Amino acid sequence: MKTCLIVYSDYYKDISKSLLKGSINILKKNNIKYELHRIDGSFEIPQLINIKLKSKKYCAALALGCIIKGQTPHFDFISSSISNSIMDLSIKYSLPIANGVLNCLNKKQAKLRSSSKKNKGAEAAKALLSVLKYLK
């Protein structure tokens, strides 16, 4: 089996670490190999996914990161752009790409959504697996 690409932003290092832990646990439980690539900001995640998928060595990709709303509309533009780009890439490459980039109103919400109780990284990995089974 090919490898699952994981591209993550570590702008919020504690959040990213928890999302990674949740997603990697799910992939390991399902015997899925993975390759990690770190990037500084969430906006760049789709760009790196596009670059890496050109190699055709991946069976899927997982995007992980966190965006927290500030005082400007920046949050809305970045969140929308990332979601749309991930879907476009999934269609372009005919591969499942799970969106585990959190869009949160505050740090407290981000911590909850990356915790062991409600880990969106794990949920994104499960969603990825649910699509991967159709490709076998």
Q: Is 37 a catalytic residue?
A: no
Q: How far is 65 from 36, CA to CA, in rounded Å?
A: 13
- Domain with 89, as residue range(s), is 3-132
Q: Which residue has the tokens 């399902």?
A: 30
Q: Quote the pLDDT of residue 72.
A: 85
Q: Quote the pLDDT of residue 135.
A: 84
Q: Which amino acid is at 1?
A: M
State the average pLDDT over residues 106-116.
96
Residue 42: pLDDT over 90: yes
Please, what is the average pLDDT of the chain?
Answer: 95
- Percent of all residues in the chain with a pLDDT value above 90, rounded to a whole number: 90
Residue 136: pLDDT over 80: no
pTM to 2 decimal places = 0.95
Q: Quote the pLDDT of residue 2.
A: 81
Q: Quote the pLDDT of residue 73.
A: 86
Q: How far is 2 from 11, CA to CA, in rounded Å?
A: 28
Task: Tally the domains of the chain.
Answer: 1
Q: Quote the pLDDT of residue 1.
A: 63
Task: Please pick, among 2, 28, 29, 74, the residue that the annotation labels catalytic.
Answer: 74
The domain spanning residue 38 has which CATH number?
Answer: 3.40.50.960
- 29, 32, 19: which is closest to 132 by C-alpha? 32
Residue 110: pLDDT over 80: yes
Which tens digit of pLDDT belongs to each residue from 48-102?
Answer: 999 999 999 999 999 999 999 988 888 999 999 999 999 999 999 999 999 999 9
Q: How far is 77 from 59, CA to CA, in rounded Å?
A: 29
Beta strands 34-39 and 97-104, pairing class: unpaired
